[in-house]
Amino acid sequence: MMLPPERTGHAASADLIARRAAIAEAVAAGVWRTDNAPEELEIGGVRCLRFLPSTESRGTVLHIHGGAFRQGCPEMIGPFATALATRCGVVVICPAYRLAPEHPFPSGLNDAIRVMTALNTGGLIVSGDSAGGGIAAGLAARNSNEAPALAGLALLSPWLDLTVSAASFATNAAHDPLFSGEAAREAATLYLQGFSPDDGRASPMFAAVDNFPPTLINIGAGEVLIDDACAFFDRLRAAGVESLVEIIEGMDHVAVTRDLALPGAAQTFATVAAFVDERVRAV
């Protein structure tokens, strides 16, 4: 799957700059700091955090953070990544991919590809939350006919369709406090900057999925993204891909990566950990 050339974007708005600054201040204040501090390094020319298990590693998980393609950082994934590394005995890599609107599609996906390629490890498991789930699925589509094959794909409240056309954007609008059709359309515009939202290279919903690895999809029942998650699961099953969708009542968007104490987060974490265990054993 050939990607289009990278393009020059435009400056972020004052509001977005302020939101990013608030995140940076929270990182500096240690909001997501963990007892087992991650290593900071470059992989494929991309800044990454590497979270190590307390024992010899059984495998590697490449996790792509969310933030609607325009904000967020790997430090925010720290508590989830540390818990997963400890529970499953795996290395967890979180890249700081380039963000829109300064770096529109396909810059962020290219960064993730660079990290995946540099890791060059058989049995790699890829995961992602929200927009990071979309990039993770984009990695699976990009890697579907290449070696080494991915061992598994875990999508947590993934944003897979940038057309923002699913009915659940309206039907669940009152139940999803963290994401909305308006926010999605704004973020998609900043990310795509004229590229077609129904192109499978940007929206994995429209990509070929025949050669996807075993895939886990986790989503809250009240999320605006639930229709997309279920539609993608249906596509995977129709293509014969081993897949599972877990729908959790009362769980907000990407609860497990925001706070392991949030409703539904413990159940999600247990499911993800079991999936990682299974995929590590299968390699």
For the stretch 230-281, pLDDT in tens is 999 999 999 999 999 999 999 999 999 999 999 999 999 999 999 999 999 8
CA atoms within 13 A on the CB side of 237: 11
Written as six digits, the tokens of 70 are: 């325009």
Written as six digits, the tokens of 2 are: 């050939």
Report how far residue 77's alpha carbon sits from residue 94's, in angstroms, rounded to the nearest whole number. 8
Report how far residue 123's alpha carbon sits from residue 83's, in angstroms, rounded to the nearest whole number. 20
How many other CB atoms are found less than 10 A from the CB of residue 274? 13
User: What amino acid is encoded at 185 in this protein?
Assistant: R
pLDDT of residue 149: 84
- Residue 283, pLDDT > 90, answer no
pTM recorded for the entire structure? 0.97
CATH, range 14-282:
3.40.50.1820
Report how far residue 223's alpha carbon sits from residue 232's, in angstroms, rounded to the nearest whole number. 15
Mean pLDDT for 139-158 is 87
Tens digits of per-residue pLDDT, 65-87? 999 999 999 999 999 999 999 99
Q: What are the residue boundaries of the structural domains of the chain, listed by start?
A: 14-282
Tens digits of per-residue pLDDT, 103-118? 999 999 999 999 999 9
Tens digits of per-residue pLDDT, 177-216? 999 999 999 999 999 999 999 999 999 999 999 999 999 9
Distances (CA, A) of 134 to 43, 201, 264: 21, 10, 21
Report how far residue 135's alpha carbon sits from residue 87's, in angstroms, rounded to the nearest whole number. 25
User: Can you give the three-state secondary structure of the chain, one letter per residue?
Assistant: CCCCCCCCCCCCCHHHHHHHHHHHHHHHCCCCCCCCCCEEEEECCEEEEEECCCCCCCCEEEEECCCCCCCCCHHHHHHHHHHHHHHHCCEEEEECCCCCCCCCCCHHHHHHHHHHHHHCCCCCEEEEECHHHHHHHHHHHHHCCCCCCCCEEEEECCCCCCCCCCCHHHHCCCCCCCCCHHHHHHHHHHHHCCCCCCCCCCCHHHCCCCCCCCEEEEEECCCCCHHHHHHHHHHHHHCCCCEEEEEECCCCCCHHHHCCCCCCHHHHHHHHHHHHHHHHHHC
Mean pLDDT for 40-48 is 98
Cα R_g (the chain), whole angstroms = 17
Report how far residue 93's alpha carbon sits from residue 81's, in angstroms, rounded to the nearest whole number. 8
Nearest 5°: CA angle at 204, between 201 and 210? 100
- Residue 122, pLDDT > 90, answer no
- Cis peptide, bond prior to residue 204, ω within 30 of zero: no
